[in-house]
Amino acid sequence: MSSKRKWDQAAPEEGETPTKAMKGEDGKTASEAAAAAAAIAAKIAAQFANAGAGGGTPLGKDPHDGDFTQDIDINDVRNRYLLTKGSTQTQIHEETGASVSTKGVWYPDRSKATEKDPPLYLHISATTQEIMQKAVDKVNELISMDMGSLVEDKKDRLRERRKWPEEKIPVGIDTIRNFNVRAKVVGPSGMFVKYIQQETGTRVQIKGIGSGFVDQETGHEHDEPMFIHVTGPDEGQVQRAKVLTEDLLEVVRQEHAKVKAVVQQQQMELHQAQIQYAAYSAYAVCMLHSFSRPSYTTVAAA
């Protein structure tokens, strides 16, 4: 595990308002988000068009890439599940010699995409133009197996989404004073969750009681303790995201334990102070009563 994890930075400010995971970032309107997604699609299309002239520029240059790289947008391809399977990408590599990997994030509504988190795409790397072309042809062949309509209704998208591998990781941290569990987990401006998504190509959402995530079908939060839901097109990606998520939760639990110890100490001191005050008050009342009684000894002497 890298020592430079996103969650090893300073804790976020308290009072972060819970919001539904994966909302449009930076307050973009739907039209602005759609324009950003269109720009990303145009960039990928330009890379595809330039492949014949020596390969396009990848969205993110990998030091292990060959001399020729190509990115193919598959976010709206109906059979993207087949294209993102590890066995399918291994088959393409064995048949063509090119390396294929899954990048980006799948968006049911691609208008939510940003340049930082682009829609789902395949990244192809090859050592020669001939190998690259063979791989591109093979990918296009798999895409053409089921072109279908790119417009799916909501139920179809949900059914297809359920086919993806998923993991539910319990948060297991109780809320205490001065410790917003959801804010600590997602990080400042959601940076911890975004980091896991970018590193693994998965979708990470905070759900359950206190998460602020409202299920569209039921209209309220999931009726179970807070958990982190991870889903993605490939089992390996999901397991990698699970490892990072559990590492993040361990850090949050350690911070939670420290804050809880401080709160318990403060409560103990407050309780002791209350006991001492009660004892002092009882003593003061007793002394007051003793001074207010008549002196029978003096009366008798008189």
Q: Is residue 12 part of a domain?
A: no
Q: Tell whether 243 and 178 lie within a shared domain.
A: yes
Distance of CA 149 to the CA centre of its chain: 30
Longest dimension (CA), the chain: 128
User: Of 99, 116, 144, at which residue does a domain stop?
Assistant: 144
Q: Is residue 110 part of a domain?
A: yes
pTM score, whole prediction: 0.40
Q: Tell whether 169 and 271 lie within a shared domain.
A: yes
First-last CA distance in the chain: 93
User: Of 84, 112, 144, at which residue does a domain stop?
Assistant: 144
Q: Is residue 302 part of a domain?
A: yes
As for how many domains the chain has, the answer is 2
**Tens digits of pLDDT across the chain (302 residues):** 445 566 665 555 544 444 444 444 444 555 665 566 566 656 555 554 444 444 444 444 566 677 899 999 999 888 888 888 888 999 999 999 999 999 999 888 888 888 888 999 999 999 999 999 999 999 998 888 754 444 445 555 555 555 788 999 999 888 887 788 888 888 888 899 999 999 899 999 989 888 888 877 777 788 888 899 999 988 989 999 999 999 999 988 888 888 888 777 777 777 777 777 776 776 666 767 666 655 555 444 44
Q: Tell whether 240 and 287 lie within a shared domain.
A: yes
Domain encompassing residue 252 = 164-302
Q: For position 123, which CATH number holds?
A: 3.30.1370.10
